[in-house]
Structure 1
Amino acid sequence: MKVFLVLGCLFAFLSIAIGAFGAHGLEGKISAHSLQIYKTGVQYQMFQTAGIFLVALLLDKFGSSTTLTWAGWLMVLGIVLFSGSLYALSVTNVKIIGAITPIGGVLFLVSWVLVAISVLKS
Structure 2
Amino acid sequence: MTQDGRRFLFLAALAGALAVVFGAFGAHALKARLDENMLAVWQTAVQYHFWHALALALIGMLAQHLRDSRALRLAGWLMLAGMVAFSGSLYAMALSGVRALGMVTPLGGVAFIAGWIALAVSLRGTRVS
TM-score by length of 2: 0.92
Q: Which runs of no fewer than 5 residues in structure 1 stay unpaired?
A: none
Residue in structure 1 matching 2:50, options 29, 46, 49: 46
Residue in structure 1 matching 2:85, options 81, 84, 88: 81
1:108 and 2:112 matched: yes
Partner secondary structure for residue 49 of structure 1: helix
Report how many residues are paired.
122
Aligned structure 1 segments of 4 or more residues deviating by more than 3 angstroms: none
C-alpha distance in 2, partners of 1:5/1:56? 5
Deviations 1:32-80 (A, max 9, x none): 1000000000000011011101111111122121110010001001100
Match of 2:96 in 1: 92
Deviations 1:75-111 (A, max 9, x none): 0011000000000111111011000000000000000
Match of 1:71 in 2: 75
1:9 and 2:13 matched: yes
Considering fraction of residues, name the structure with more helix: 1
Matched-pair identity in %:
38
Partner secondary structure for residue 7 of structure 2: helix
Q: RMSD value over aligned CA atoms?
A: 0.7
C-alpha distance in 2, partners of 1:78/1:61? 24
TM-score by length of 1: 0.98
